[in-house]
Chain A
Amino acid sequence: DIQMTQSPSSLSASVGDRVTITCRASQGISNSLAWYQQKPGKAPKLLLYAASRLESGVPSRFSGSGSGTDYTLTISSLQPEDFATYYCQQYYSTPLLTFGGGTKVEIK
Chain B
Amino acid sequence: QVQLVESGGGVVQPGGSLRLSCAASGFTFSSYGMHWVRQAPGKGLEWVAFIRYDGSNKYYADSVKGRFTISRDNSKNTLYLQMNSLRAEDTAVYYCAKDRVDRGYDSYFDYWGQGTLVTVSS
Contacts and interface: CB of A to CB of B under 8 A. Distances in A.
Contacts of B59: 95-96
B109 A46 contact: yes
B19 interface: no
Interface string B35-78: 10000000011110010000001010110000000000000000
A20 interface: no
A12 to B, nearest CB: 19
A99 B44 contact: yes
A95 B107 contact: yes
Question: Chain B interface mostly helix, strand, loop or mixed?
Answer: loop
A100 B47 contact: no
A44 B108 contact: no
Interface string B63-107: 000000000000000000000000000000001000010000111
A87 interface: yes
Interface residues of B, number: 23
Question: Chain A interface mostly helix, strand, loop or mixed?
Answer: loop
Given A43-B115, A44-B112, A46-B110, A97 B47 contact: yes
A49 B100 contact: yes
A43 B44 contact: no
A101 interface: yes
A74 interface: no
A55 B110 contact: yes
A49 B106 CA distance: 10
B47 A99 contact: yes
A99 to B, nearest CB: 4
B47 A102 contact: no
Nearest 3 pairs between A and B by C-beta? A43-B112, A34-B108, A95-B50
